[in-house]
Chain A
């Protein structure tokens, strides 16, 4: 198993290099000049020239890439052109927020999506199935920003139950942290739960038709044992795959939700950095989310092995 993990991590290195080259070149292809944005309203030519030299923007793009890589290898992710804060500090500030939001959203998504998927598969063609499908479709089609603003207006402004926005670290004030995250993670979670529900349903339907399910029923097992132990376990593989992908995506930040609830996570920072052409920040953040994505896929692969005994020999 350890060898397997080690191998997977080694394969991840070229992936990271390709990602970083890709992001670096895409950024350079964008029109617009970070220094012009940074120079301020007066755009003093002296300052502009100085900053260009300082951030080595006059050098060929290939050189710039290698400067960046060599700095990163020495643990220096550079500083934000906009605020002078080190990129590493920004990552340290934002990562816990993003992970917390991702985890809480996934909890909501699992709590809603999986039971609904199982139920609609088992009760296929009944009213329950239709209702679950309608709910799932609404979850997919209601835009996050609309649901977010509605929740703020109703829950925060009208009822005053939860804070409208903002963020608090769980290590400073766990209750407040939970309260501020409740609405955003619900908004994100419902959208994800719809996809999860659809996948759970179709996976369950596939397994329910298998011969071993008929055998299990013939053995006289209770229906819930058949569904949860025999069917659901076998239907888990696609669900795990999807969940890992979604979780990976969440680590890249949820821009709209973060914007509406003013959550200082990755998404908002990356978007702002792109608009300001804050190269170092974009590079650092993308590298960080790429690592997150790779790790999540590794976790998924390991879960497959846990879930499916047939795969154990192969690893």
Chain B
């Protein structure tokens, strides 16, 4: 009898205790992601989810070196047009489908040919892709493309289960299946996305949570308050203005990493009626405008000094940054002299900015700075969808824009400044720049690429179709008990080896 009683008590205790061991990690994210399908996805925050759900062929280190993930090794042919990848053995998708060369071919095929795929423009250099046996994939390119490997470290290289996407089609976004540490459980739009640990994941030993819940909380102050109250374990994109208060909280750890992108002013050089201004026609005026800006002060006033002032598409600590063209100091006299040289003493410029407090603040700071050199800056605040449509149509003079940035330098520059660039809304066109950009893309030698980018930088720094202002810093805050978090410049949250104390 006594034994039975003991067994009963033991069983009940065990049953009650079991859920207590299940650890869930709660992550506060800055917005609600769009479609959870790596081929259809277009938001940054979607990538945050994929970092825990969908492994890529290639991974990056915090120093931006490319390292193996689902591909264990790769080699280029001598002329740079054939890429051979060896795949990780013994890996299965979250639905049990084996991961092999056939699956990779199906994935690349979907990314390139699904009509809704947002990855097409990233993979245009691929002529064809073939499976060679079970674990080898051969990519044949139509021209050398040094950017391809870095693309495989992002959404273009995310591996989804062909069984799942063939069955679900576009509905795959509502039940994604990949190879990755966590598998999809549920999503309630604007409320939560819940993932469960995949016990069959090839690197499951490095994962120390049974589930992870992403909660979109738009207001960064509220996100921080939720972390402080213990409702969240980690939050992304802490506002620069909250950095001091987060750092001084003894219950929190703060992690930072300089980002890959930039913020700046896109100037309409030759895009329709909006380009019919002295500012568009005369580069001296743009140079004067740039010299009238105190980038250091802008960073201090708007971002409490947490970001990095910039003048190039890559931050000053990037290996691609041209050290010969440092961030210019403010020089009102020189700016005025340039205005004089251009034959004017006052110029009207209309700057369109997204309608949010931070962008408005930047615009106001700029307004007062450039006024001293003789620029009458009008600030038009508009919401994003309208601004985007107007910019594409050429219905703007200058836009304040941000670019989240990519691992490969090509993605921060090429499409914006080449004559046929898909997102070249300035319609700036210079054959010399096109040549340099093509040469940079064609070489797999970083030194040769850098040489071309530097040469282009000299020209672009004179012509200034894009005027860079600063580079944001990713700031995460987390509960003190959380250890093992590694900040990455791409801003994603990777959960390998992260533990909750």
Which residues from chain A contact B190 at a C-beta distance below 8 Å? 264, 268-269, 272
CB of A261 to closest CB in B, whole Å: 8
Q: Is A50's beta carbon under 8 Å from chain B? A: yes
Cα–Cα distance between A39 and B117 once the two chains are bound (Å): 9
Give the chain A neighbours of B189 by CB distance below 8 A: 80, 83, 85, 90, 93, 264, 269
Q: Known: A32-B389, A36-B388, A275-B384. Contact between A84 and B35, CB under 8 A? A: yes
Q: Does B218 contact A (CB under 8 A)?
A: yes
Partner of A259, one of B115, B117, B218, B388: B218
In the complex, are the beta carbons of A149 and B221 less than 8 A apart? Answer: yes
Q: Which of B222-279 contact A (CB under 8 A)?
A: 222, 225-226, 228-231
Say whether A152 contacts B225, CB under 8 Å: yes
A157–B218 CA distance with the chains assembled, in angstroms? 18
The answer to whether B173 touches A160, judged by C-beta atoms less than 8 angstroms apart, is: no
A37, B384: Cβ atoms closer than 8 Å:
yes
A residues less than 8 Å from B217 (CB atoms):
165, 262
**Does the CB pair B388–A157 fall under 8 Å?**
no
The verdict on A47 contacting B384 (CB below 8 Å), with A36-B389, A163-B231, A164-B225 known, is no
- Interface pair A33/B170, CB less than 8 Å apart: no
Complex interface: chain A residues within 8 A of B117 (CB): 47
Instruction: Give per-residue flags for B422-464: 1 if the beta carbon is below 8 A from chain A beta carbons, else 0.
Output: 1100000000000000000000000000000000000000000
Residue A201 CB within 8 A of the other chain: no
Which residues B8-23 have CB closer than 8 A to chain A? none
Residues of B within 8 A of A269 (CB): 189-190
Q: Is B42 touching A38 in the complex (CB atoms < 8 A)?
A: yes
Asked if A34 is at the interface (CB within 8 A of a chain B CB), the reply is yes
Are B171's CB and A84's CB within 8 A? yes
B392 beta carbon closer than 8 Å to chain A: yes
- Asked if B390 lies at the interface with its beta carbon under 8 angstroms from chain A, I say yes
| CB neighbors of B among A14-64 (8 A) | 30-34, 36-47, 50-51, 54
Chain B residues positioned under 8 Å from A272 (CB to CB): 32, 190
CB–CB B385/A32 < 8 A:
yes
- Cβ–Cβ contact B121 & A37, under 8 A: no
Q: With the chains together, A116 CA to B423 CA distance in Å?
A: 60
Cβ of B121 and Cβ of A50 under 8 Å apart?
no
Contact (Cβ within 8 A) B385 A34 = yes
Whether, in the assembled complex, B72 has its beta carbon less than 8 Å from a beta carbon of chain A, the answer is no
Residues facing A in B384-439 (CB within 8 A) are 384-386, 388-390, 392, 403-404, 415, 422-423
Residue of A nearest to B42 (CB): A40
A84 near B384 (CB under 8 angstroms)?
no
A260 contacts B385, C-beta separation under 8 Å: no
> Does B415 lie within 8 Å of A42, measured CB to CB?
yes
Query: Cα distance A260–B225 when bound, in Å?
Result: 11
Q: Which partner residue on chain A sits nearest B382 by CB separation?
A: A31
Whether a CB of chain A sits under 8 angstroms from the CB of B40 is yes
| Residues of chain A within 8 A of B40, CB atoms compared | 84
- Give, as a whole number of angstroms, the nearest-CB distance from A79 to chain B: 9
Q: Closest approach, in angstroms, between the C-beta of A176 and any C-beta of chain B? A: 11
Query: Are B423 and A43 in contact, with the CB atoms below 8 A?
Result: yes
- Report A-chain residues with C-beta under 8 Å of the C-beta of B231: 156, 163-166
Give a binary string over B102-144; 1 marks a CB under 8 Å from any A CB, 0 the rest. Answer: 0000000000000111101110000000000000000000000
A90: nearest residue on chain B (CB-CB)?
B189
Residues of A close to B192: CB separation below 8 A: 166
Tell me, in angstroms, the Cα distance from A201 to B206 when the chains sit together: 65
Q: Which of A47, A93, A165 contacts B118 (CB 8 A)?
A: A47
Contact between A156 and B225 (Cβ–Cβ < 8 Å)? Answer: yes
B385-A42 in contact (CB<8A): no
Contact partner of B222 (CB less than 8 A), chosen from A31, A45, A93, A152, is A152
The residues of B that contact A85 with a CB separation of less than 8 Å are: 173-174, 189
The CB with the most chain B CB atoms within 10 A, among A31, A46, A276, is that of A31
- Closest A residue, CB atoms, query B228: A157
Q: Note all chain B residues with C-beta closer than 8 A to A46.
A: 120
Q: Does B89 contact A (CB under 8 A)?
A: no
Most buried by A among B32, B36, B191, B221: B191
Is the CB–CB distance between B173 and A84 below 8 Å? Answer: yes
| Structural contact, A275 and B385, CB atoms closer than 8 A | yes
Q: Is A82 an interface residue (CB 8 A)?
A: yes
Q: Would you call B37 an interface residue if the criterion is a C-beta within 8 Å of the partner chain's C-beta atoms? A: yes
Whether B37 and A84, one on each chain, are in contact in the complex, defined by CB atoms closer than 8 angstroms, is yes
A139-168: contact bitstring with B at CB < 8 Å (1 yes, 0 no)?
A: 000000000010011001100100111110
Among B116, B174, B216, B385, contact of A277 (Cβ-Cβ < 8 Å): B385
Residues from chain B with Cβ under 8 Å of A41 in the complex: 42, 403-404, 423
Provide the residues of chain A in CB contact with B167, threshold 8 Å: none
Task: Indicate whether B34 reaches chain A with its CB closer than 8 angstroms.
Answer: yes
Q: Which residues of B contact A90 (CB under 8 A)?
A: 189
Asked if B372 is at the interface of the complex by the 8 Å CB criterion, the answer is no
Complex Cα distance A85/B40, Å? 13
A42 partner, pick from B32, B121, B384, beta carbons under 8 A: B121
Query: Which chain B residues border A82 with CB–CB below 8 Å?
Result: 34-35
Interface residue ranges of B152-199 to A (CB < 8 Å):
170-171, 173-174, 188-192
B358 CB, nearest partner CB in chain A, Å: 16
- B331 in the interface, Cβ–Cβ < 8 Å? no
Asked if A276 meets B116 with Cβ closer than 8 Å, knowing A156-B231, A166-B231, A259-B218, the reply is no
Asked if A259 contacts B219 (CB within 8 A), the reply is yes
Q: How far is the CA of A51 from the CA of B114 in the complex (A)?
A: 12
Is the Cβ of A36 less than 8 Å from the Cβ of B392? yes
Decide yes or no whether B333 CB sits under 8 A from chain A. Answer: no
Whole-angstrom distance from the CB of B215 to the nearest CB of chain A? Answer: 6
Shortest beta-carbon contacts, A-B, top 7: A40-B42, A32-B385, A264-B191, A156-B229, A40-B118, A32-B386, A164-B229
A-B residue pairs in contact (CB < 8 Å), sample of 12? A37-B385, A41-B404, A42-B423, A47-B116, A50-B116, A83-B36, A93-B191, A156-B225, A164-B229, A165-B217, A262-B217, A275-B384
A43-B392, A165-B231 known; 14 other A-B pairs, CB under 8 Å?
A31-B390, A36-B388, A43-B422, A44-B121, A80-B189, A84-B35, A84-B40, A152-B229, A156-B231, A157-B228, A164-B222, A165-B222, A167-B191, A269-B189
**Which A residues lie at the B interface, using CB under 8 A?**
30-34, 36-47, 50-51, 54, 80, 82-85, 90, 93, 149, 152-153, 156-157, 160, 163-167, 259-260, 262, 264, 268-269, 272, 275-277
